[in-house]
Amino acid sequence: MTALFPTYKRFDLAVERAEGTTVEDTDGKTYLDFGAGIGVCNLGHRHPAVQKALEEQLERYWHVSNLYHNPIQEKVAALLTANSSGNQVFFANSGTEANESAIKLARKATDKHKIISFEQSFHGRTFGAMAATGQEKIHAGFGPMLEGFSYVPFNDIEAVKAAVDGETAAVMLEVIQGEGGLHMADSEFIEQLSHVCQENNLLLIVDEVQTGIGRTGKPFAYQHYGISPDIITSAKGLANGVPVGAMIAKESLRDTFGPGTHAATFGGNPLAMAAAEAVLTNVFKDDFLQEVTEKGTYLKKQLEEMIGDLSFVSSIRGKGLMVGIECSQDVSAVVPQLMEKGLLVLVAGPTVLRLLPPLTVSKCEIDQAVTLISEALTGKKVETH
């Protein structure tokens, strides 16, 4: 019996330590980590620059509250706004909290309450973010949901237009749906969506909790589409494993969140900020992002070559180092098989294997992972019923 709530169905692996792309278990077995803590450890486990920043901050101060100025928050906010369409940052402690902040900001700024989001989206587990999530299984048992959310099919602009009414405040989306199955937005759809938002005075909220911080080869994934969102949310990769969340918004929304409107005791915690500053100064560099793009292209090419022709594999897709392998049937049994072989991977929905290696992964590690995936999938036949 464990004293923990059984909220997670855990694999049979107990972690001892981790470094770079490698995780070691308590039996001394090592694994290549192509999950990176669910897209969190973008610089790999215990990256030296992040570790140094944390150690230095430990010697300075850990927490003094947001009653006082924390210069390190200004530095991180400046890095985020210099690399996005936003000008103001609110710091929270997780992805769901960043989205909660975005929902509150959108309602207050527009004095409207409806938000359109997408089927198969994932925005988090608190009441606002859960309601924004377009997946029945995430809502089950927790109703009634927060009012005002409607879910339309992804990449369907007519459905978005049909859902807009006089009470609509915002449209919220992931440009690549992470948890929901690695579904990618079409460029044309995103362009049209941006127009629909402008024409109807709707705020465009892009949830970059999983896709941001260099994951797709740009600081934020929306930057592949040439749009300018009003609100961007970030979390997972932002501090390489130290809990943090951020909402980045345009200057026009600044005064909506005046003193006393919204807050988080731990938001912008100095340790998280020290880690985030080290992450962003390393990740938001052209040559680093270029390498992410190249390694992502290489990973997809190797996968195409090795497993692209297997009948079990129906599609290999993604951007940068966010890659999905869609299979013709349930992949849940493949994950423990890969673990046995020494490779950690994720799933996205029942039929997609999801790879989110650290952005610092080497080509050699990519080759090893592709070989293991190929070994696990070769010989798998499509079941005929």
Q: Which residues within the stretch 178-207 sit at the binding site for ligand PLP (CB under 6 A)?
A: 178-179, 207
| Shortest separation between residue 222's beta carbon and ligand PLP, angstroms | 12
Q: Which residues within the stretch 61-100 sit at the binding site for ligand PLP (CB under 6 A)?
A: 94-96, 99
Q: Which residues within the stretch 231-250 sit at the binding site for ligand PLP (CB under 6 A)?
A: 235-236
> Residue 212: what residue type?
G
Q: Is 123 in the site for ligand PLP (CB under 6 A)?
A: yes
Choose, by CB under 6 A, the member of 50, 209, 335, 343 that binds ligand PLP: 209
| Shortest separation between residue 229's beta carbon and ligand PLP, angstroms | 14
| Shortest separation between residue 166's beta carbon and ligand PLP, angstroms | 28
For ligand PLP, the closer of residues 268 and 302 by Cβ is 268
| Shortest separation between residue 226's beta carbon and ligand PLP, angstroms | 21
Opening angle at CA 177, ends 172 and 182, nearest 5: 170
Based on the number of CB atoms within 10 Å of its own CB, is 161 exposed (0-12), middle (13-18) or buried (19 or more)?
A: middle
Give long-range contacts, CB 8 A cutoff, 24+ apart: 5-10.
Answer: none
Q: Which residues within the stretch 130-189 sit at the binding site for ligand PLP (CB under 6 A)?
A: 174, 178-179
Cβ-closest position to ligand PLP: 95
| Shortest separation between residue 231's beta carbon and ligand PLP, angstroms | 13
- CA–CA separation, 90 and 321 (whole Å): 27
| Residue count, binding to ligand PLP (CB under 6 A) | 15
For ligand PLP, the closer of residues 6 and 260 by Cβ is 6
Choose, by CB under 6 A, the member of 88, 210, 216, 256 that binds ligand PLP: 210
- CA–CA separation, 167 and 262 (whole Å): 23
Choose, by CB under 6 A, the member of 34, 91, 122, 284 that binds ligand PLP: 122
- CA–CA separation, 276 and 176 (whole Å): 23
Q: Which residues within the stretch 295-334 sit at the binding site for ligand PLP (CB under 6 A)?
A: none
| Shortest separation between residue 248's beta carbon and ligand PLP, angstroms | 14
CB-based contact 127:149 (threshold 8 Å): no
Handedness of CA 5, 7, 9, 15 (dihedral sign): negative
* Contact range with ligand PLP by CB under 6 A, out of 119-127, 136-144, 281-289, 337-345: 119-127
For ligand PLP, the closer of residues 93 and 302 by Cβ is 93
Residues that constitute the known binding site for N(2)-acetyl-L-ornithine: 125
- Which residues lie closer than 8 Å to 172 by C-beta, 6 or more apart? 99, 102, 103, 115, 116, 117, 121, 123, 132, 205, 206, 207
For ligand PLP, the closer of residues 94 and 302 by Cβ is 94
Asked if the bond preceding 144 is cis, omega within 30° of 0, the reply is yes
Q: To which residue do tokens 């049979």 refer? A: 12
CB-based contact 220:204 (threshold 8 Å): no
CB-based contact 119:292 (threshold 8 Å): no
Phi-psi region of 11 (alpha: psi -120 to 50; beta: other; left: phi over 0): beta
Q: At what angle do helices 363-377 and 286-307 cross, to 10 degrees?
A: 30
| Shortest separation between residue 49's beta carbon and ligand PLP, angstroms | 23
Contact letters for ligand PLP, residues 94-113 (x by CB under 6 A): xxx--x--------------
For ligand PLP, the closer of residues 37 and 296 by Cβ is 37
Q: Applying CB under 6 A, which residues contact ligand PLP?
A: 94-96, 99, 122-124, 174, 178-179, 207, 209-210, 235-236
